[in-house]
């Protein structure tokens, strides 16, 4: 393989990884292990604004692998994640009706095979939005998951499809 082909492949990988993070904003990180080359291993905290519920932000913490592979986007991050979603505006707004269950965010955790999912589930009986995070792979997923709930004031009914 020529150097140009290798660099081209690495550039494509970096572009794919960076486009996967378009919906998130990193709000903090903690270093967990020193790496001589590249970034350290770390736990990052990212914020995701729900695109269909104005006034809800989900905060996800998860491990990110450092080193050379992690720096160029070739490392596979661990499947564990923790989630906490909160009402961050005075009033929640629903521009459209929501499905009872929807994959709100999907983010790559490895170059090809693993993804982190955040799913919104509507509980109309309790007027509550539930957010679930889990990871999957091309062949098999990981049963580790995390859940959080955002109660919606009784004066604001959640419009459901």
Give a yes or no: residue 53 inside a domain. yes
pLDDT at 62: 84
- How many Cβ atoms sit within 10 Å of the Cβ of residue 147? 13
pLDDT at 10: 40
Are the C-beta atoms of residues 101 and 160 closer than 8 Å to each other? no
Tokens at 7, concatenated: 């660099």
Give a yes or no: residue 160 inside a domain. no
Task: Report the number of distinct structural domains present in the chain.
Answer: 1
pLDDT at 6: 42
Give a yes or no: residue 32 inside a domain. yes
Are the C-beta atoms of residues 160 and 100 closer than 8 Å to each other? yes
What is d(CA 19, CA 86) in angstroms, rounded to the nearest whole number? Answer: 25
Give a yes or no: residue 159 inside a domain. no
Structural domain containing residue 125: 3-151
The per-residue pLDDT string of the chain (161 residues; one tens digit each, 9 = 90 and over) reads 444 444 344 433 433 333 333 478 999 988 877 767 767 777 889 999 999 999 999 999 988 766 555 555 656 666 678 999 999 999 999 999 999 999 999 887 665 667 889 999 999 999 999 999 988 865 666 678 999 999 999 999 999 99
What is d(CA 93, CA 152) in angstroms, rounded to the nearest whole number? Answer: 10
Q: 10-43: b or e for each residue (b if 16 or more CB lie within 10 Å)?
A: eeeeeeebeebeeebeeeeeeeeeebeeebbbbb
Give a yes or no: residue 51 inside a domain. yes
Give a yes or no: residue 45 inside a domain. yes
Give a yes or no: residue 79 inside a domain. yes
Give a yes or no: residue 158 inside a domain. no
Mark out the alpha helices in the chain (DSSP H runs). 3-20, 67-72
């Amino acid at each position: 393989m020529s150097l140009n082909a290798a660099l081209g492949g690495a550039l494509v990988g970096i572009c794919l990884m960076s486009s996967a993070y378009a919906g998130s904003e990193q709000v903090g990180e903690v270093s967990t292990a020193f790496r001589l080359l590249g970034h350290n291993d770390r736990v990052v905290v990212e914020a995701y604004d729900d695109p269909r519920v104005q006034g809800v932000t989900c905060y996800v913490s998860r491990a990110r692998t450092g080193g050379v592979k992690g720096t160029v986007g070739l490392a596979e991050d661990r499947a564990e994640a923790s989630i906490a979603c909160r009402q961050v505006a005075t009033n929640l707004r629903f521009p459209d009706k929501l499905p009872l269950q929807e994959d709100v965010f999907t983010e790559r955790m490895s170059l090809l095979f693993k993804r982190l999912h955040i799913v919104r589930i509507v509980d109309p009986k309790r007027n509550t939005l539930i957010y679930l995070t889990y990871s999957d792979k091309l062949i098999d997923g990981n049963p580790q998951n995390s859940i959080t709930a955002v109660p919606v004031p009784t004066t604001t009914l959640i419009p459901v499809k």
